[in-house]
């Protein structure tokens, strides 16, 4: 006799919880929906109805569950990551976008909307293309450029840009030297650069073991070597009055402000994520 949806979900949630997965029930639902090829909302209806699960679906679910219990990221198993109302394709070789980055993208979107028609926006260290795509989709007429150094991440970004925002100009290259033809003409520079210090190995296995090191570790003793290069690139790219916003760790808020203390910058401000932690800093080009 086939197991029912609620019975499978209950057992799976217990198993994931025992493995240390913080969102055990939600992950179980998303994995079973993925195995069954249905939307999560439909799965919840099937759970209420106590519907049986076909054997082939149960087998697929078991394989996914085994990997999730081993702390393979949920997004790698489903191949999708939600970001500001869209779903991005993700997998091994690219950083999985997080909710705090949605706030950074929102700051860039808001500034671009204030710039009037056809603002020029540059996303440095673009990863999966999440921020660039969000700006392109939410700011009508925006001319969006994105730069990513890692060929693997760039390949994921290419896939996402082609599917969601084909007008984005995506480049493979070093953010520090990128887009010299736009020097002094950019309205907004936004970045989620690598910023983890070398000794601060992430605790979560999903991050530590699966996110690419190039997307995590920012270089230098404080992890801010790459972000400082991003800031230098932004100083070159932005027009006077142009806006820079970039993501960092909560403990780096003071250092982030200090990195913008030079003669190029004014109106330096910190920004909190949805949990109230200081996770981004912005400034204007003098």
Exposure on the CB side of residue 179, measured as CA atoms within 13 A: 30
pLDDT range class, residue 108, cuts 50, 70, 90: very high
Known binder of ligand: residue 195? Answer: yes
Share of the chain above pLDDT 70, in %: 100
188 is written with which tokens? 């907004």
Strand, coil or helix: what is 82?
Answer: strand
pLDDT above 60 for 1? no
pLDDT above 70 for 207? yes
Q: What is the pLDDT of residue 277?
A: 95
Q: Region 81-105: what's the mean pLDDT?
A: 96
Owner of token pair 């673009």: 126
Q: What is the pLDDT of residue 199?
A: 75
Exposure on the CB side of residue 89, measured as CA atoms within 13 A: 13
Q: What is the pLDDT of residue 198?
A: 84
92 is written with which tokens? 């091994």
| Integer Cα distance of 247 and 178 in angstroms | 19
pLDDT above 90 for 261? yes
Residue ranges covered by each domain of the chain: 5-70, 83-285
Lowest mean pLDDT, pick from 42-51, 149-158, 192-201: 192-201
Share of the chain above pLDDT 90, in %: 94
For the residues of 68-79, what is the DSSP string, one character each? HHTT--HHHHHS
| Integer Cα distance of 156 and 154 in angstroms | 5
Q: Region 223-251: what's the mean pLDDT?
A: 97
* CA 249 vs CA 121, 153, 181, 278: distances in Å: 23, 21, 31, 8
Known binder of ligand: residue 160? Answer: no
Q: Region 39-46: what's the mean pLDDT?
A: 94
Q: What is the pLDDT of residue 2?
A: 75
Which residues are known to be catalytic? Answer: 95, 192-193
pLDDT digits (tens, 9 = 90+) for 269-286: 999 999 999 999 999 999
pLDDT above 80 for 57? yes
pLDDT above 90 for 55? yes
CATH topology of domain 83-285: Rossmann fold (3.40.50)
Confirm whether pTM is higher than 0.85. Answer: yes
Known binder of ligand: residue 148? Answer: yes
């Amino acid at each position: 006799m086939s197991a029912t949806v609620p019975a499978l979900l209950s057992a799976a949630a217990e198993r994931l919880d025992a493995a240390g997965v913080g969102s055990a029930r939600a992950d179980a639902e998303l994995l079973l929906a993925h195995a069954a090829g249905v939307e999560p909302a439909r799965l919840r209806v099937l759970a209420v109805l106590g519907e049986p699960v076909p054997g082939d679906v149960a087998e697929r679910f078991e394989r996914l569950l085994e990997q999730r219990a081993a702390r393979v990221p949920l997004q790698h198993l489903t191949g999708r990551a939600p970001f500001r109302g869209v779903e991005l394709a993700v997998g091994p070789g690219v950083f999985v976008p997080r909710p705090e980055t949605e706030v950074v993208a929102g700051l860039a979107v808001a500034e671009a909307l204030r710039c009037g028609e056809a603002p020029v926006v540059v996303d440095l260290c673009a990863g999966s293309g999440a921020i660039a795509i969000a700006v392109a989709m939410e700011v009508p007429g925006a001319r969006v450029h994105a730069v990513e150094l890692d060929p693997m991440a760039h390949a994921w970004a290419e896939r996402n840009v082609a599917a969601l925002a084909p007008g984005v100009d995506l480049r493979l290259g070093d953010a520090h030297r990128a887009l010299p033809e736009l020097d002094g003409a950019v309205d907004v520079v936004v970045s989620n650069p690598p910023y983890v210090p070398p000794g601060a190995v992430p605790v979560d296995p999903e991050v530590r073991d699966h996110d690419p090191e190039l997307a995590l570790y920012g270089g230098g003793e404080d992890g801010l070597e790459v972000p400082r290069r991003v800031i230098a690139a932004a100083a070159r790219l932005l027009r006077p009055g142009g806006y820079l916003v970039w993501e960092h760790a909560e403990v780096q808020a003071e250092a982030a402000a200090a990195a913008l203390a030079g003669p190029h910058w004014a109106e330096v401000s910190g920004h909190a994520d949805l949990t109230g932690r200081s996770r981004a800093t912005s400034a204007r080009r003098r």
